[in-house]
Amino acid sequence: FVMEALHVRRLDGLSDGAREVLMPVAGLLGLPIDQIKVLVCIALSFVLAAIHRKIRGIRARHVFACTWGVVFGLFMFGHEALHSLASATITYFLMRFGKGGRAAHIAFVFNMLYVVVSHTYQLYVDYLVWEIDFTAPQMMLCLKLVSWAYNVADGRMNSKEYEAQILKERDTRIVRFPTLLEFYSYVYYFPSFITGPFFEYVDYIRFMER
């Protein structure tokens, strides 16, 4: 009822259309349609990465990375891709207005519970059905969001306090709070949104700004 009221199923057009187009390919190769979709995303990532490398301007690079990550999400999962948007946005504003390490702890609990509840729900509605659904990238996103939250909290500590805490570990603090575009670019970076791997936000920003 909620989904119908919000008309979110209109977002299923790309996913449903791709399923119809790729079904003959899946039958020919003897692979499930969800795995064919993943292979298409991986193949497209190589092409898009070459284009991304040529883009001038940091903002344009962020827009490109974010846009194609969203497209991949809708291509794979339809309206269920909104789960990534919801959890990421809540985490962003929780850290934007939260104080210190307490907000990071809340972000950790929230994202872990989000994954657990999502898996439990999928187990209930699709019991004994194996298919790549939104919970796959959600697990990777959980790692990114929790790491990002604690790095933001570390960035708000004074230098002496932080240095005493991390000893000789690598500095991954986020000193400047990111814009929404930078944050969503990190969340939806297209080569890793569906399959990973995980990487720190500071490393991503260095890559985008080099």
What is the tens place of the pLDDT at every residue in 67-107? Answer: 999 999 999 999 999 999 999 999 999 999 998 789 999 99
42-72 pLDDT tens trace: 999 999 999 999 999 999 999 999 999 999 9
Given a cut of 60, is residue 108 above it in pLDDT? yes
C-alpha 101 chain-centroid distance: 22
Which residues make Cβ contacts (< 8 Å) with residue 148, sequence separation at least 6? 91, 95, 174, 183, 186, 201
pLDDT at 149: 97
DSSP code, position 176: S
**Structure tokens given for 122:** 């999928």
pLDDT at 4: 47
Cα(60)–Cα(116) distance, integer angstroms? 35
Given a cut of 90, is residue 159 above it in pLDDT? no
Whether the model pTM is above 0.85: yes
% of residues, the chain, pLDDT over 90: 73
Cα(25)–Cα(19) distance, integer angstroms? 10
Mean pLDDT value of segment 167-190: 89
Given a cut of 50, is residue 203 above it in pLDDT? yes
pLDDT at 186: 98
SS3 137: helix
Place of tokens 């919000």: 6
- DSSP for 44-73? HHHHHHHHHHH--SHHHHHHHHHHHHHHHH
Task: Name which of 7-21, 46-60, 183-197 the model is least confident about.
Answer: 7-21
pLDDT at 161: 62
Residue 129 — very low, low, confident or very high, per pLDDT cuts 50/70/90? confident
Cα(177)–Cα(120) distance, integer angstroms? 33
CB 149 within 8 A of CB 107: yes
